[in-house]
Amino acid sequence: MDIKDNNKFYVIRNYTVEHLFLNLDYSFSEYASIDKKNIDSYNLLWFYQIPPAFGMEFNINEVNNFKHLLDIIINEVSFKKLILIPLELPENLNIIEEENLNLINAVNDFNSYLLSLQNDMNNVFFFDISEFKLENVKTKFDFKYFILSRAIISPIYTLEFKKWFSKKLASLNESKYKCLVLDLDNTLWSGVIGEDGVNNISFNGGYPGNCFEYFQQFLKNLSKKGIILTVVSKNNLDDIEELWAKRSDMVLEKSDFSEFEINWTNKADNILKISKSLNIGIDSMIFIDDSDSEIELVKKFLPEVTTFKFPKDPENVYDLIKELVNLFKRYNITKEDKKRNIYYKQNKLRKNNEIKFKDFNSFIKSLEISITAQKINPESYDRIFQLINKTNQFNLTSIRYNKSEFKDKTLSSEIFCIKVSDKFGDSGITGVALIDIHNDYINISNFILSCRILGKKIEDDFINFLVNYFKKKNFKKIKANYIASQKNLQTENFYKKSMFKSIESKSGNNLYELDLKNYQPKEYFNSFKYE
């Protein structure tokens, strides 16, 4: 087994846990032992636990030893990623005794240390094992199995543990979901606004309004993390506008939503309209409605959209929230993620402004676009990594990197990014170029732009900057790679349009070249500067 495989782990443990990862082909350390020489570049899983059957003083000493061992891993091992399982207190603990209080403090301090590692390092992840709970089961521990095989969790619960761990592992991947499409009546509030009136619908106070308030608070939090909130509702627009104007006691405000389709058109068509307006795939959208027929309609005509029915009994909304938490779970949220709603609203203003201009170049000039190029730095690192691994349409090779590979790439290549703003607002870091340096030429190993800034000659200005920059550095040629994928076909002629010549083409892998000897620098269409 190659445990350097990105989906496999080397488990560092102090008790028997093999049964919990049955058929996953993981490797395991010896008990309470670290072979630090042989685990460089591996994915690591830290799974130390407190023994349940020893004196409290011994347990506290154990916790101190755990931190010492973990510090060795953090400081002396070059791992790809590290998953940390926190300590759980013995289930038969009597809190009244002073020794037990000391143990509780030691465990809390250690778990806080694990959380701090996750916050400080972008390849360390905290998997809270307290989330692994079993219904109608008082304990996950079985003394018989502990004595026979040193199993800290009973083998009876292997299947349940694997389900929990698989969900947590899946959450490390970037969530494909970007947008929630929400019904209004009996979804964001209790009641039908067209029948009950603005003042008689319920979204706070006592039951059932408090259930909808809880749901809205959850949605508000998602919005702050960059999830796009939109509305598709069969209602009269005037009624909804009256709601926004009169009911200031609702958690969600009109400004929390990026798009509204409030009309009597079928909801599948309205969802499709929103996806086109936001320029996102329909497979990145989740639709929530209280009507079975509306859910079935969307399933039939837009099967790529994930659907959920809002529960008939609103107190069951907690189960819906748990499902959504798993789908939207993300460990690394960038500044650009948190501003995503703002970006989409700004883009809508740009589209509305475009209607005023017959000449497209005049429209672009009217946007007053400003582009700033810079090399990668600690502040832009996470966003650049995200763009490389998320962008599909304007990604000229679609090559992805895990965090360890990307770290190596930053050491071996020059990486540039661009920040873009216009009169409507700041789009943030929205372009990346990865440059491999050779003796007399450079190679653009990838060139990436976010879809939300395409079509405004920004890509032309960015490639123009790179050409001018490296011509001044006395390089003779620039080479560039294009690898075709199902989603980036719109970029297949980009280098040709930028005056590069095709010099090699094999199985969709194309190599282009630009001779800088007689190249004459072009003027930038938009305002451009390099920091």
Choose one of 108, 142, 170: the last residue of a domain.
Answer: 170
**378 and 324 share one domain:** no
CATH number reported for the structural domain that contains residue 442 in this entry = 3.40.630.30
User: Is 5 part of any domain?
Assistant: no
| Triad 504, 507, 513: Cα angle to 5° | 20
- Per-residue pLDDT, 23: 84
Contact between residue 45 and residue 28 where contact means Cβ atoms under 8 Å apart: no
- Per-residue pLDDT, 4: 44
Region 194-207: what's the mean pLDDT? 91
Non-local CB neighbours of 401 within 8 Å, separated by 6+ positions: 385, 388, 389, 409
Could you list the residue range(s) of the whole structural domain that residue 266 is in?
179-331
| Triad 38, 42, 47: Cα angle to 5° | 95
% of the chain at pLDDT higher than 70: 88
Which two structure tokens, joined as six digits, stand for 211?
């259930």
User: Is 277 part of any domain?
Assistant: yes
DSSP calls for 45-73:
EEE----TTS-HHHHHHHHHHHHHHHHHH
Length of the chain as a residue count: 531
**468 and 500 share one domain:** yes
Choose one of 141, 170, 199: the last residue of a domain.
Answer: 170
Q: Helix or strand or coil: residue 446?
A: strand
**199 and 93 share one domain:** no
Region 238-244: what's the mean pLDDT? 92
Region 319-329: what's the mean pLDDT? 86
Choose one of 138, 170, 202: the last residue of a domain.
Answer: 170
**Residue that the structure tokens 């003796």 belong to:** 439
**195 and 308 share one domain:** yes
Which two structure tokens, joined as six digits, stand for 424?
């409507």
Which of 203-207, 269-273, 278-282, 289-293 has the least mean pLDDT? 278-282
Across 131-226, the runs of DSSP E, i.e. the strands, are 179-182
User: Is 52 part of any domain?
Assistant: yes
> What sign does the dihedral 228-229-232-235 (CA atoms) show?
negative
**396 and 284 share one domain:** no
User: Is 348 part of any domain?
Assistant: no
Which of 77-81, 202-206, 236-240, 373-377 has the least mean pLDDT? 77-81
**407 and 326 share one domain:** no
Contact between residue 470 and residue 440 where contact means Cβ atoms under 8 Å apart: no
**216 and 102 share one domain:** no
What would the pLDDT profile of 32-71 be if each residue is shown by its tens digit? 777 777 777 789 999 999 876 555 555 677 888 899 899 8
Residue 108 burial (CB count, 10 A): 13
**166 and 205 share one domain:** no
The total domain count for the chain is 3
**161 and 188 share one domain:** no
CATH number reported for the structural domain that contains residue 42 in this entry = 3.40.50.1110
Which has more confidence, 33 or 461? Answer: 461
User: Is 339 part of any domain?
Assistant: no
Q: Helix or strand or coil: residue 81?
A: strand
**163 and 183 share one domain:** no
Q: 0.75 exceeded by the pTM?
A: no
User: Residue 488: is its pLDDT beyond 90?
Assistant: no
Q: In whole numbers, what is the pLDDT of the chain averaged over residues?
A: 86
CA-based nearest residue to 402, from 172, 166, 120, 126: 172
CATH number reported for the structural domain that contains residue 248 in this entry = 3.40.50.1000
> What sign does the dihedral 300-301-306-312 (CA atoms) show?
negative
User: Is 338 part of any domain?
Assistant: no
What would the pLDDT profile of 107-154 be if each residue is shown by its tens digit? 899 999 998 888 777 788 999 888 887 655 667 888 888 889 999 888
User: Is 83 part of any domain?
Assistant: yes
Query: Using the 8-state DSSP alphabet, how is residue 504 labeled?
Result: E
Confidence class for position 494, pLDDT limits 50, 70, 90: very high
**157 and 198 share one domain:** no
Non-local CB neighbours of 272 within 8 Å, separated by 6+ positions: 282, 302
- Per-residue pLDDT, 288: 98
User: Is 364 part of any domain?
Assistant: yes
**379 and 300 share one domain:** no
User: Residue 90: is its pLDDT beyond 80?
Assistant: no
Strand partners, 286: 180, 306
Confidence class for position 225, pLDDT limits 50, 70, 90: confident
Phi, psi values for residue 161, rounded to 5°: -65, -45
